A and B are shown apart, each in its own frame.
Chain A
């Protein structure tokens, strides 16, 4: 009984330890007021108001006729992304922007694995639930300015990874060979038993 109680106490202690372990929250502050997070938290307060929003253009511009969709991220990675060595500071965050296609074409570089996208500033009306776009939360922009041009990002292979890959390849080939030989021995053994 005492042993059981001791085990229970140890489990409770370990669990309490786990409870207080949390990863740090993001320290990054968006250049926007309201930020994308602020718009999502208080959509009614900003609905229909003209706002200025700055963020990294990510992915692509999806041109649809005379207009286009841009996605601007105002998160911790808008100036430098993880592939360039930026610290981890939470999820991406941003806002979709609907604007004239000719303005969208000013964006040259879009953020992805190999690029840090152009940081652009748009001015437009925020919609908590846009009637034109099936209730989406978006910004209809009239102006766009490129604040910081994007760039290509290199992600070179880290040397220790190559060393590890080599060691594991040798390990894997040895395991395959070991498995083959064990199978062969088993087959021979089975054949002898049958005889």
Chain B
């Protein structure tokens, strides 16, 4: 029998969703101040409207949903998944009001893409948008990378009871510290420290590349936010092609690779366990799959004679593949060049790495290196069992912060999520073909949306069918939250309709 949620259940969900909305409103202070500093008055008013809408709904929800009931496991998951919808519905107001979006749906697409650190966008005439709006796009992706619920946990949640379920609901399960609120703060500490160092490195590089200081600073800050959050938004429509610079590509590669690593790994390194970088199953898995697919793409591109020399060939292959694998979405080639220059094999190589994706509990998306590593180790264990004598006991382990035995339950869980991702990628690809696109392009774009990467081969555009935009919004959301909390939200909806 399905139990219908009681009034108190709705109230507790409403109360905490309200807190997340207030958090979104507070985030808007950054672009609002940016607009004021650069005298972009129309943009400033857009942000004022949006902030006030967030506060009105956020505080209004908290006031109307007073309850002493504590957050339970289901509530947490529903708050996490539901908040992303509400935060998208209201967070897209500044983009819509700017006049650069074709419809409210397009604005929602961009905001969901930002929060989920995907990087696909439908905003038009990007090269003429205000600094305030560009700041919002990048703050969205930077905040989304840490998790908008993590923000609320850090600043707005007082108690910790039930907070862990909201945290898990956002696709994370690592506790860096015993207390989940302290964990959320530790994630911010790591991110803000990198923000300072990364922006400084990019700023020095940008000055040397010929940008004037203020513009160089803004570009550096935004590029850092796009890279660290593995978001892929860039301040100009040319994306990373704008800079024409090997040092810039190197610095951004380091940042997005670091951003794609597990926060628990960062924390381990911060607390002195540096050898974790070379021992962790996720970094090993990432290094192996990246090397493999860079070799495949390099071989194919060399055979096709696309690039004039080995250096150009390696530079292009490595950057697109590393960007795809970390689910960043920065690119040093035109979107359509994936089709017109890289061809089917190149498209498929990038599709494969995007599908695998980054590390768990990072800013990235995709199946995740830890699952790929665990499934591979499980396969090895099976083969060993087959060839070993019957009496032999074969156990496999993997290193993630410590040596862990590969238990059946963990493998089952990894396989289940992997199957869900593969199913979603297949549906996304098939839907693309249903709308008239060829299979490799449809698969590339569908995987890019579902793995929160943001590389495009030209399929995503403001003129694409609205239904496909809706599907991509759902895929981005599902991919970022790793299904479970979205299923919990659906279950909650069903229990309202059918429960007794």
Contact = CB atoms under 8 A, between A and B. Distances in A.
Contacts of A81: 125, 128
B128 A83 contact: yes
A61 B41 CA distance: 27
A179 interface: yes
B127 A92 contact: yes
Nearest to A174: B56
A119 to B, nearest CB: 14
A183 B158 CA distance: 14
Contacts of B316: 129, 134-135
Contacts of A86: 125
A138 B263 CA distance: 39
B311 interface: yes
Contacts of A169: 48, 52
Contacts of A82: 99-100, 124-125, 128
B60 interface: yes
B312 interface: yes
Interface string A101-114: 00000000001111
A82 B101 CA distance: 10
Contact of B332 (A37, A136, A165): A136
A134 B45 contact: no
Contact of A22 (B101, B238, B463): B463
Interface in B438-478: 461-467, 470
Contacts of A6: none
Nearest to B337: A40
A155 interface: yes
Contact of B466 (A22, A71, A76, A182): A22
* Most chain A CB neighbours (cut-off 10 Å) among B106, B124, B126, B307: B124
A135 B313 contact: yes
B199 to A, nearest CB: 19
Contacts of B42: 155-158, 161
Interface stretch (B240-248, B289-297, B405-413): B240-248
Interface in A26-85: 26, 37, 40-43, 58-64, 68-69, 71, 73, 75-77, 81-83
B62 A69 contact: no
B236 interface: yes
Contacts of A174: 56
Given A131-B309, A175-B60, A178-B63, A73 B127 contact: yes
A1 interface: no
A143 interface: no
Nearest to B98: A82
B56 to A, nearest CB: 4
A188 interface: no
A183 B63 CA distance: 8
B48 A165 contact: yes
B246 to A, nearest CB: 6
Contacts of A100: none
A128 interface: yes
Interface string B284-324: 00000000000000000000001111011101100000000
Contacts of B462: 23, 88, 90-91
B124 A91 contact: yes
Nearest to A39: B334
A59 B312 contact: no
Given A129-B341, A157-B42, A165-B49, A90 B99 contact: no
Contact of A58 (B63, B127, B332): B127
Contacts of A138: 244
Interface string A125-166: 000111101111110000000000000000111100110110
B130 interface: yes
A88 B308 contact: no
A94 interface: yes
A179 B59 contact: yes
Q: Which range holds the interface residue count of chain A?
A: 35 or more
Interface string B101-113: 1110010000000
Given A18-B466, A82-B99, A161 B210 contact: no
A116 B51 CA distance: 30
Which one of A23, A133, A162, A183 has the highest number of Cβ atoms from chain B below 10 Å of its Cβ? Answer: A23
A174 B243 CA distance: 48
B55 interface: yes
Contacts of A133: 244
A21 interface: yes
Contacts of A58: 127-128, 236
A96 B244 contact: yes
Contacts of A114: 40
B460 to A, nearest CB: 10
Contact of B97 (A42, A59, A112, A161): A161
B36 interface: no
Contact of A157 (B45, B311, B463): B45
A23 to B, nearest CB: 5
Nearest to A156: B42
Interface of A: 15, 18-26, 37, 40-43, 58-64, 68-69, 71, 73, 75-77, 81-83, 86, 88-94, 96, 98, 111-114, 116, 128-131, 133-138, 155-158, 161-162, 164-165, 168-169, 171-172, 174-176, 178-179, 181-183, 186, 190
Lowest 3 A-B CB distances belong to which pairs?
A: A135-B312, A62-B210, A168-B52
30 contacts: A18-B466, A18-B467, A21-B465, A21-B467, A23-B463, A40-B337, A60-B210, A63-B210, A64-B209, A64-B210, A71-B242, A77-B125, A83-B128, A86-B125, A89-B124, A90-B462, A91-B126, A96-B244, A111-B127, A129-B312, A135-B307, A135-B313, A156-B42, A168-B56, A171-B60, A175-B60, A179-B60, A179-B63, A182-B66, A190-B68
Given A22-B466, A137-B337, 12 more contacts: A21-B466, A43-B340, A61-B210, A73-B127, A76-B125, A88-B124, A88-B462, A93-B237, A113-B129, A134-B311, A135-B313, A157-B42
